[in-house]
Amino acid sequence: METEETYMLQIQNALVSLDLAERFFCCDLDACLGECCIEGDAGAPITRDEYEKLKSLLPEISDELMPQAREEIEANGVGYVDEEGDLVTSIVDGRNCVFTCYAPGGKCLCAVEKAFREGRVDFRKPMSCFLYPLRLTEYPTFTAVNYHRWKICRCAETLGRKLGLRLYQFMREPLIERFGKEWYDELCEACEAYLAEYGESDK
């Protein structure tokens, strides 16, 4: 584990923000209504393989998408290259990902994940969505893992604090899928050691 002065934990070939140890977090969909899938000026980052996978799922999930989303996909595809040169999911109305759908009460859901949970498809969602609110930045020799802080997730921090659940604990499943179980076990050990040395308080 790196010293506190670096403000990062080194886990194999990744540098991990101390936010994962220090912050409490547990998604509270009833409070935020899935706003993270709506707010923003671009879609979710995806790989070329994920683009092809999303395209292949359209026959199964198309009926659950918004009419304007189906029109956007038909005209321009499930993704596009944004101003920064990244491949991202297509959006409609300048905000909604084309794969969003809405439950009663205005709760935003992901049509892909909904189909996955119902056993209709074998793909949960793009890795960038699964890892959110963590964001990865790839460098030639390492991967940076950071927590995206914004007002929408304050309710998640409140619920996490109430439950005593740290960000690294809440993100167990996606982190294991992305980095592997051995990597995640090392992260847990590093976070526990850091908290034991520097205190349990949430900043």
At residue 105, the pLDDT reads 78
Residues ≥6 apart with Cβ < 8 Å to 19: 146, 147, 149, 167
Q: Which residue ranges make up each domain of the chain? A: 1-25+133-203, 33-124
In the chain, which residues have pLDDT < 50?
1-6
At residue 159, the pLDDT reads 94
Q: In whole angstroms, what is the distance from residue 203 CA to residue 2 CA?
A: 19
Contact 122, 112 (CB under 8 A): no
Helices (H) and strands (E) in the chain, counts: 10, 10
Helix (H, G, I), strand (E, B) or coil at 12: coil
User: Taking the CA of residue 160 as centre, how many other CA atoms within 13 Å lie in the half-sphere pointing to its CB?
Assistant: 23
Model pTM score: 0.86
Residue 79: phi, psi to the nearest 5?
Answer: -155, 170
Omega within 30 of 0 (cis) for the link into 133 = yes
**Length of the chain in residues, anyone?**
203
Q: In whole angstroms, what is the distance from residue 132 CA to residue 29 CA?
A: 13
At residue 30, the pLDDT reads 80
Give the helix/strand (H/E) hosting 34: none
